[in-house]
């Protein structure tokens, strides 16, 4: 057996020049399954949970939809000049298993399942699922890295306290995370916020948790490079966790989501900002709220798949 100091070369995706894109494995980017290799540096895992939604359901089908849309991904990323599957062993770890009927139990199971995948030093990119899952994922990474700088892409703050007296929904994960000190106050940010709120208190309460906000209207007045520079200064050298709600994109770019809001980012803007995290201490990420029943022509799934690819590429750049 190979020694740990000399691990085997990474097993990459199925060769698209040998097996057509529409055939072969239905894993993310047609990568090997976790059980097909002896080790992994990065795991892409599904969390098909949508019990916490407050409007349109269906994000439980998001992971499989994103995997289907990922068939077009290729092994070289020219934007970051990296071959993300050649320098690290990336696997599809399947889906986390949890109770779909009892939210608090599911949160514990998601946390433990995620921790099992990263406890030996691997990094995790999670495909949701609704945004409730960000809370247990942050708990899992905190068990290894401690409080993280959190960059949250979303149309919504997701720092509300309860919804119909329920403390765990897709609108509350970062309130619960703030209460537990899972992210670093003053070094975390929301990006893409827009739309109506319940009251001005939503903003003041959010500010008390230590988030900087890049509103979506800021993109009319600021360049992408300026936004990236500001975010990098906010993050600093802290471990970085990125949480992307696909509804940060305008409905023209992501119709397949549960709570769409007009006036959002373009997919090009979002991809460029994510690439702007190159060189930072990225330790994990999630992409949530893809609801394929409302998607057409795989518009939303393709955006999500490409975002996951950029995140895996960033991890390769720092490997």
Concatenated DSSP letters of 259-308: S--SS-B-HHHHHHHHHTTTTS-EEEEEEE-B-GGG-STTHHHHHHHHHH
Task: Say if CB 204 and CB 247 are below 8 A apart.
Answer: no
- Beta-carbon neighbour count of residue 267 at 10 Å? 21
| pLDDT confidence tier of residue 1, bands split at 50, 70 and 90 | very low
pLDDT (0 to 100) of residue 24: 86
Average pLDDT of the segment spanning 63-79: 97
| pLDDT confidence tier of residue 319, bands split at 50, 70 and 90 | low
Percent of the chain with pLDDT over 90: 93
Query: Mean pLDDT for the chain?
Result: 96
3-state secondary structure of 127: strand
Average pLDDT of the segment spanning 165-179: 98
Task: Say if CB 150 and CB 183 are below 8 A apart.
Answer: yes
Average pLDDT of the segment spanning 126-142: 98
Please tell us whether the domain made up of 28-317 is placed in CATH 3.40.800.10: yes
Q: Residue 189 is encoded by which pair of tokens?
A: 């940010």
Q: From CA 277, how far away is CA 80, in angstroms rounded?
A: 11
pLDDT (0 to 100) of residue 8: 85
| pLDDT confidence tier of residue 2, bands split at 50, 70 and 90 | very low
| pLDDT confidence tier of residue 247, bands split at 50, 70 and 90 | very high
Task: Say if CB 49 and CB 104 are below 8 A apart.
Answer: no
Task: Say if CB 151 and CB 305 are below 8 A apart.
Answer: no
Helices 299-317, 267-275: axis angle to 10 degrees equals 10
Domain boundaries, the chain: 28-317
- How does 200-216 read in b/e, with b if 16+ C-beta sit within 10 Å? eeeeebbeebebbebeb
Please classify residue 294 by burial: count the beta carbons closer than 10 Å to its beta carbon, then call 0-12 exposed, 13-18 middle and 19+ buried. Answer: middle
Percent of the chain with pLDDT over 70: 98
Backbone angles phi, psi at 217, to 5 degrees: -65, -20
Among 151, 157, 191, which Cα is nearest to 277's? 151
């Amino acid at each position: 057996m190979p020694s740990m100091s000399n691990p085997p070369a990474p097993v990459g995706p199925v060769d698209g020049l040998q097996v057509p894109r529409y055939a072969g494995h239905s894993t993310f980017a047609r990568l090997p399954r976790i059980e097909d290799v002896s080790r992994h540096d990065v795991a892409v895992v599904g969390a098909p949970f949508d019990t916490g939604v407050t409007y349109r359901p269906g994000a439980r089908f998001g992971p499989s939809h994103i995997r289907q849309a990922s068939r077009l991904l290729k092994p070289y990323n020219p934007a970051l000049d990296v071959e993300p599957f050649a320098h690290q062993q990336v696997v599809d770890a399947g889906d986390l298993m949890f109770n779909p009927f009892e939210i608090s139990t599911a949160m514990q199971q998601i946390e433990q399942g995620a921790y099992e995948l990263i406890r030996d030093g691997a990094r995790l990119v999670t495909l949701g699922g609704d945004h409730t899952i960000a809370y247990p994922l942050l708990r899992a990474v905190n068990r290894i890295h401690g409080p993280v700088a959190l960059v949250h892409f979303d149309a919504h703050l997701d720092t509300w306290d309860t919804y119909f007296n329920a403390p765990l929904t897709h609108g509350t994960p970062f309130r619960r995370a703030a209460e537990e000190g899972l992210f670093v106050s003053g070094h975390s940010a929301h990006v893409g916020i827009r739309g109506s709120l319940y009251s001005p208190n939503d903003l003041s309460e959010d500010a008390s948790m230590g988030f900087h906000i890049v509103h979506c209207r800021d993109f009319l007045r600021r360049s992408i490079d300026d936004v990236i520079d500001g975010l990098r200064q906010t993050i600093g050298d802290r471990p970085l966790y990125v949480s992307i709600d696909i509804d940060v994109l305008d409905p023209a770019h992501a119709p397949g989501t549960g709570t769409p809001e007009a006036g959002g980012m373009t997919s090009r803007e979002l991809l460029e900002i994510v690439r702007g995290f190159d060189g930072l201490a990225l330790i994990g990420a999630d992409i949530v709220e893809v609801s394929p029943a409302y998607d057409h022509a795989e518009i939303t799934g393709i955006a999500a798949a490409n975002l996951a690819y950029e995140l895996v590429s960033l991890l390769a750049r720092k490997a």
